[in-house]
RNA sequence: GGGCAUGUGGCGCAAUUUGGAUAGCGUUCCUGGCUUCGGACCAGGCGGUUGCGGGUUCAAAUCCCGUCAUGCCCGCCA
């Protein structure tokens, strides 16, 4: 979809460039800079504004105001869209022909419908988004939810930009946490009496409580379990995979309720089994970036020396060690080694490697696949770009992976490895720990399940007394959608790198800039269309003459910039750009709604088409946040 | 010791990447507005030395230097 706002800017930029070339020749201000100088100003200054004259003032040795006037005089008309240029305080302001621009915007929306907000910038590029990679031994709590929602929304946004997206979830089924979980399974006599992930998470807390009370014997048992689960042929490792499987299925129920889906699960144990790790170590040895010291501190280990890096020197300055261990002296791989192997695979440097089978059918109609020993190759991986949604406290580890690619001479890959880092979620003064069990609050558990239950319950209080529902029986389903919108919006409106002090009450706010307000706005728009018996049809040019230069045109301009916002959200890896846009859009619609009657007005055909364009745009932008609209509430 | 992130009206955020007009939005508080398409609403008002100090520039929340505060990280844990 071509962006109407970007097209308008380009026309304006071309006019400016022509004039600048004529007046100043090759003055060092190129067409990209001219385009970048154009913004949407406050409406009293016009529809578009360029600050390029301010920049040129020095070169031209004139005041910015004179430069602006000269450029306006020299500018040739570039079609009928831009009707006039004026200067003010050195800025060059352009006015758009409202009817023509409205025709472009409304025409584009009604032609493209659901595709209206999408962009082609990622066409032909495969990309992996990995999220949330929660260990399969606990329920989702609010802090994990941020990861899952960011990953889901980011995937939607990249898809809207025509990237081919693989949604991947890494299942960390080896390691200490899982060994502890297995110990609990074998030594604490209790059987699951609730949702399995919740129950397993509670067991895990019990194990940790016992560990704190000491018990060298217990610690020894866990250490030995840690070894046996790495060997895929032991009964313990098979038992643990079953436990993990059951936990995953329970966790999926939560994710599905939140509308979060994946394409493939990649198990840590399969990385070992498929010999990715071995291949990675061989590659590192043969390229000379790994070494195996026979003496000194790292005797018997495989390490990577960090003193040969050609990038990232600043970030690693002052690190306490100049080497990172890949393989321990006892032969066990470190987390970083496995992650490195995984990333070599992601970028296609280790070939196909995995086989897959179906894990389950998802409610969105798509299969969820999983790596598996007796499956078949499916062609995942081998992508150009990787986005890892991982908490900020793992930034150092993510940096090391980039460093390893740098050492391999593959800075191109390092640049395409994106760590979508996000800040931690605090909870009303409590630091959430799944180990200590602080997610089990006094009044409630701070799990994603409970949060959505409460959000739905709060929505239901309002919805059940609503007189607007065509069928009161729909209230529960509508309330679930409203509750979900509140939560998703609350998490996604903040830029990822900020920490969130999560408040149960604030997340369930339905007023102001919030998910439910967006849904409410959508329902109002749908009501107008329904009452008017709106049928989609092309508007004749006469209908556009009813346009004013008030909130109707402001709304059209904002709708016209949807793609630009989607592209910005994608290139900055910031779903909050979409949330901000949706806030502005809904607020502007309210202004329009209050000040410009639709039904019965002389402008009815135009305004109905505008309401329809608004509804389509809002629906697809909310869709990028994973928020689904309801027609009534 | 070093690195990363954050710091913007009482509270929660945007604008910082690419310097540009009076720093926007939500909320709280105050004042108005429902015989007219949905009040989960709208209009108006109060509220800011953009942590602090320098520098660059015609122009700094934005760039540079320094500094303070908060959080996280620098393991043969994951």
Q: Where are the alpha helices (DSSP H) in A213-274?
A: 216-230, 235-257, 268-273
> What's the first-to-final CA gap in chain A, in angstroms?
32
Question: Cβ of A183 < 7 Å from strand B?
Answer: no
Question: Are residues A481 and A404 in contact, defined by beta-carbon separation less than 8 angstroms?
Answer: no
Predicted pLDDT at A1 = 59
A 345-374 residues, CB < 7 A, strand B: none
Q: Label residue A162 exposed, middle or buried (CB < 10 Å: 0-12, 13-18, 19+).
A: middle
d(CA A560, CA A583): 15
Report residue A434 as tokens.
């799944």
Predicted pLDDT at A62 = 87
Q: CA A595, C1' B33: Å apart?
A: 13
- Cβ-Cβ contacts under 8 Å for A84 (sequence gap 6 or more): A94, A95
The single residue listed with the structure tokens 């031209």 is A60
d(CA A102, CA A96): 10
**Angle made by CA atoms A212, A213, A215, in degrees to the nearest 5:** 100
Q: Whose CA is closest to A125, among A564, A560, A418?
A: A418
Give strand letter and number of the nucleotide nearest A86 (CA to C1').
Answer: B21
Give strand letter and number of the nucleotide nearest A175 (CA to C1').
Answer: B78
Question: Cβ of A301 < 7 Å from strand B?
Answer: yes
Q: CA A197, C1' B43: Å apart?
A: 50
A 70-109 residues, CB < 7 A, strand B: 88-91, 93
d(CA A270, CA A392): 26
Q: Whose CA is closest to A588, among A609, A557, A543, A612?
A: A557
Q: Whose CA is closest to A370, among A222, A241, A528?
A: A241
Report residue A603 as tokens.
């402008």
Side by side, the strands of the sheet bearing A302-305 are A290-291, A302-305, A323-327
Q: CA A518, C1' B59: Å apart?
A: 38
- Cβ-Cβ contacts under 8 Å for A136 (sequence gap 6 or more): A171, A172, A173, A178, A243, A244, A245, A247, A248, A251
A 388-407 residues, CB < 7 A, strand B: 392-397
**Neighbour-count burial for A298-310, b at 16+ CB within 10 Å, e otherwise:** beebbbbebeebe
A 421-440 residues, CB < 7 A, strand B: 421, 423-424
d(CA A559, CA A325): 53
DSSP state string for A37-89: TEE---GGG-SEEE-HHHHHHHHHTS-HHHHHHHHHHHPPP-SSSEEEEEEET
Report residue A495 as tokens.
């830029």
Give strand letter and number of the nucleotide nearest A50 (CA to C1').
Answer: B20
Please, which positions of strand B sit below 7 A from a protein CB?
Answer: 1-7, 12-15, 17-18, 20-22, 25-28, 36-38, 40-43, 58-59, 71-78
Domains of chain A and CATH, by start? 4-96 (3.30.1360.70), 448-624 (1.10.730.10)
Give strand letter and number of the nucleotide nearest A631 (CA to C1').
Answer: B38
Give strand letter and number of the nucleotide nearest A46 (CA to C1').
Answer: B21
Question: Cβ of A633 < 7 Å from strand B?
Answer: yes
pLDDT by residue (tens digit) across A377-432? 999 999 999 999 999 999 999 999 999 999 999 999 999 999 999 999 988 777 77
The single residue listed with the structure tokens 């501190």 is A297
Q: CA A532, C1' B37: Å apart?
A: 9
A 581-620 residues, CB < 7 A, strand B: 583, 587, 590-591, 593-594, 596-599
Give strand letter and number of the nucleotide nearest A510 (CA to C1').
Answer: B40
Q: Which residue is nearest to nucleotide B21 (CA to C1')?
A: A89
Give strand letter and number of the nucleotide nearest A579 (CA to C1').
Answer: B14
Report residue A609 as tokens.
């088409």
Report residue A175 as tokens.
């390691």
Q: Label residue A264 exposed, middle or buried (CB < 10 Å: 0-12, 13-18, 19+).
A: buried
Reduce the secondary structure of A91-128 to three states and give it as a string. Answer: EEEEEECHHHHHHHHHHHHHHHHHHCCCCCCCCCCEEE
Q: Whose CA is closest to A9, among A60, A52, A47?
A: A47
Give strand letter and number of the nucleotide nearest A509 (CA to C1').
Answer: B40
CA A227 to chain centre: 36
Q: Whose CA is closest to A464, among A456, A480, A475?
A: A475
Pairing of β A417-422 and β A425-427: unpaired
Q: Where are the alpha helices (DSSP H) in A475-575?
A: 475-492, 504-507, 515-531, 551-559, 562-571
Question: Are residues A290 and A284 in contact, defined by beta-carbon separation less than 8 angstroms?
Answer: yes
Q: Which residue is nearest to nucleotide B3 (CA to C1')?
A: A315
A 552-581 residues, CB < 7 A, strand B: 568, 572, 574, 576-577, 580
d(CA A150, CA A8): 32
Phi, psi of A493 (to 5 degrees): -75, -20
Tally of CB atoms within 10 A around A242: 11
- Cβ-Cβ contacts under 8 Å for A364 (sequence gap 6 or more): A259, A261
**Stretches in chain A below the pLDDT threshold 70:** 1, 320
d(CA A95, CA A242): 66
The pTM for the full model equals 0.96
Give strand letter and number of the nucleotide nearest A299 (CA to C1').
Answer: B76
């Amino acid at each position: 979809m071509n962006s109407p706002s970007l097209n308008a800017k380009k026309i304006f930029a071309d006019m400016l460039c022509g004039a600048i070339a004529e007046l100043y020749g090759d003055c060092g201000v190129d067409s990209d800079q001219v385009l970048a100088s154009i913004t949407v100003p406050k409406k009293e200054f016009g529809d578009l504004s360029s600050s390029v004259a301010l920049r040129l003032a020095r070169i031209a040795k004139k005041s910015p105001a004179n430069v602006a006037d000269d450029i306006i005089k020299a500018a040739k008309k570039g079609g009928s869209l831009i009707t006039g240029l004026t200067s003010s305080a050195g800025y060059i302001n352009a006015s758009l022909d409202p009817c023509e621009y409205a025709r472009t915007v409304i025409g584009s929306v009604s032609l493209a419908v659901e595709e209206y907000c999408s962009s082609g910038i990622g066409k032909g590029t495969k990309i992996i988004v990995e999220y949330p990679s929660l260990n399969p031994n606990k329920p989702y709590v609010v802090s994990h939810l941020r990861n899952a929602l960011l990953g889901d929304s980011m995937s939607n946004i990249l898809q809207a930009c025509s990237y081919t997206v693989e949604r991947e979830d890494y299942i960390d089924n080896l390691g200490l946490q899982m060994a502890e979980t297995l110990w609990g399974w074998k030594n604490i006599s209790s059987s699951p009496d609730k949702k399995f992930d919740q129950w397993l998470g509670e067991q895990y807390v019990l194990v940790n409580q016992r560990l704190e009370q000491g018990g060298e014997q217990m610690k020894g048992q866990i250490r030995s379990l840690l070894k046996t689960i790495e060997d895929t042929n032991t009964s313990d490792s098979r038992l643990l995979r079953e436990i993990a499987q059951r936990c995953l299925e329970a966790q999926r129920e939560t994710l599905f309720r939140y509308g979060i889906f994946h394409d493939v699960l990649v198990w840590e144990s399969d990385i070992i089994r498929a010999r990715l790790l071995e291949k990675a170590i061989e590659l590192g040895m043969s390229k000379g970036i790994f070494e195996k010291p026979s003496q000194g501190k790292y005797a018997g280990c495989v390490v990577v020396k960090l003193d040969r890096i050609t990038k990232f020197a600043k970030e690693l300055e002052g690190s306490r060690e100049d080497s990172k261990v890949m393989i321990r002296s006892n032969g066990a791989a470190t987390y970083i080694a496995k992650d490195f192997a995984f990333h070599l695979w992601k970028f296609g440097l280790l070939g196909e490697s995995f086989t897959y089978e179906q894990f389950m059918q998802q409610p969105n109609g798509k299969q969820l696949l999983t790596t598996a020993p007796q499956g078949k190759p499916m062609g995942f991986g081998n992508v150009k770009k990787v986005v890892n949604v991982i908490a900020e406290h793992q930034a150092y580890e993510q940096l090391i992976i980039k460093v390893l690619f740098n050492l391999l001479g593959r800075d191109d890959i390092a640049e395409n490895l994106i760590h979508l880092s996000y800040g931690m979620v605090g909870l009303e003064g409590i630091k959430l720990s799944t180990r200590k069990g602080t997610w089990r609050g006094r009044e409630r558990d701070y799990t994603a399940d409970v949060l959505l239950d409460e959000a739905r319950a709060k929505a239901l209080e309002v919805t059940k007394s609503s007189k607007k529902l065509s069928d009161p029986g729909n209230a529960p389903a509508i309330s679930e959608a409203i509750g979900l919108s509140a939560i998703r919006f609350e998490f996604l409106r903040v830029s990822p790198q900020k920490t969130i002090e999560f408040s149960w009450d604030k997340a369930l706010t339905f007023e102001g800039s919030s998910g439910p307000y967006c849904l409410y706005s959508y329902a109002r728009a749908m009501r107008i269309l329904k009452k008017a018996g709106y049928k989609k049809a092309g508007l004749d040019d006469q209908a556009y003459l009813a346009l004013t230069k008030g909130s109707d045109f402001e709304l059209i301009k904002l709708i016209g910039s949807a793609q630009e916002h989607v592209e910005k959200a994608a290139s900055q890896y910031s779903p909050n750009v979409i949330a901000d846009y949706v806030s502005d859009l809904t607020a502007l619609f309210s202004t329009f709604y209050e000040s410009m009657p639709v039904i019965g007005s002389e402008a009815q055909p135009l305004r109905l088409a505008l309401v329809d364009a608004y509804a389509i745009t809002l629906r697809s932008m909310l869709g990028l946040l994973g928020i689904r609209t309801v027609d009534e509430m």
